Amino acid sequence: MSGMAMAVPDDKVDEVAAFFAEQQVQPAAPVKPELVEQGEKLYVAGNPASGITACAACHGPNGNGNPAAKFPALGAQHAAYTIKQLQMFRDGSRANDPNQMMRDIATRLTEQEIEALAMYLSTL
Ligand code: HEC
């Protein structure tokens, strides 16, 4: 990424930023629509039985995140990307989450729950 960023002249950085700021987020049609409802429930309410905190508590009810608290936006994300990140938090190969916030949650998620969450998030 830094290689690409270096190629942008300083006086063009604002233009590039403005271009991306103007783009509209396009939610996708979920690949497995039958999983969306389960994903929504888990996202909004978590799963007290398996100790999964509601994702919405940190990532916001609309998946917009909370930039001030450094909780990233998740809405309209490609499902394959979300699935990959949750699997990596779960197996520990992604470990940049403060206080293991995401790793603690991801280890409690089943493969099916990860898929359901990813389907739901792609629709936000
Ligand atoms: C206690 C707060 C908290 C809760 C609850 C939480 N997350 Fe996170 N999540 C974070 C933080 C902080 C990060 C950013 C880690 C980093 O990259 O620095 C993150 C990152 C992520 C990412 C990676 C985003 C990206 O752009 O790479 C995904 C996907 C994600 N969370 C999904 C979820 C899901 C699904 C749930 C519910 C099952 C959830 N999170 C619950 C705090 C939380």
Q: Taking residues 104-121, what's their average pLDDT?
A: 97
First to last CA, the chain: 27
- With beta carbons less than 8 A apart as the criterion, state whether 63 and 74 touch: yes
Q: How far is Cα 74 from Cα 56, in angstroms, rounded to an integer?
A: 10
Atom of ligand 1 nearest to the CA of 70: 12
Residue 49 in tokens = 């039985």
pLDDT band at 65 (very low <50, low <70, confident <90, very high): very high
Distance CA 37, CA 25 (A): 21
What is the per-residue pLDDT for 8? 87
Mutational pocket test of ligand 1: of 40, 52, 59, the residue with most ligand atoms within 8 Å of the beta carbon: 59
